[in-house]
Chain A
């Protein structure tokens, strides 16, 4: 992030300590969207994660979310997952693995002009459900997919 800040400061015409403070305080990316949600990443169990992440709002099952993940993952350390959400106004996509010590793997905050699509690779400890939670227009939608893991992804 610092490099970005440097670029910004270099590119801006503003000088002086006040301008620097404003630039550093208000325009760093961290403040544009929420800070790293520690509670959500350390919460135990799917329910705990959901309440830490979304404050207990209920998610409804949706057929408009497609999760692409292998039925059987040979190596739990690298499980490719992609999520496509057909809803309009998708704000965020979170990917959870239900039997991990802390289910939340990653959470994508999508800006206004993005497609409801993310693809990544996650670790899954043992056979579990991969859960995608999509926030669109302030509402939560969810979909699940079973992934069977033959070698776990956590621990050595």
Chain B
């Protein structure tokens, strides 16, 4: 099984839902040097994260290199109630991507 690329939890509150996600990604800045070879490690980082509620994009995050490794993010969506589908996807600078779907619990 492929390594899990992201983990999402959506919990419904009164009138809104809290979405918490961890995206598993090295987030290399392109500024670091490898300790063994002394060569610069090429940049590899997530650029875009999109959060969808019922297939409509509600939040779009643009990320730079200064977001920590395995980025964590938490956002709140109004009007999302228990059972609503939430989808989170990311795209990095090398064109890799991943997405996952959860329902608000």
Contacts and interface: CB of A to CB of B under 8 A. Distances in A.
A35 B62 CA distance: 9
A121 B67 CA distance: 6
B12 to A, nearest CB: 13
Interface string B66-95: 111101111111110000000101010000
A2 B63 CA distance: 19
Interface residues of B, number: 40
A111 B58 contact: yes
Interface string A116-148: 011111111000000000000000000000000
Interface residues of A, number: 46
A107 B62 CA distance: 5
B63 A114 contact: no
Contacts of B73: 118-120
Nearest to B27: A123
Interface string A56-86: 0000000000000000000001111010000
Interface string A21-59: 000000001101100110011000000000000000000
Contact of A102 (B33, B35, B52, B65): B65
B31 A108 contact: no
B62 A36 contact: yes
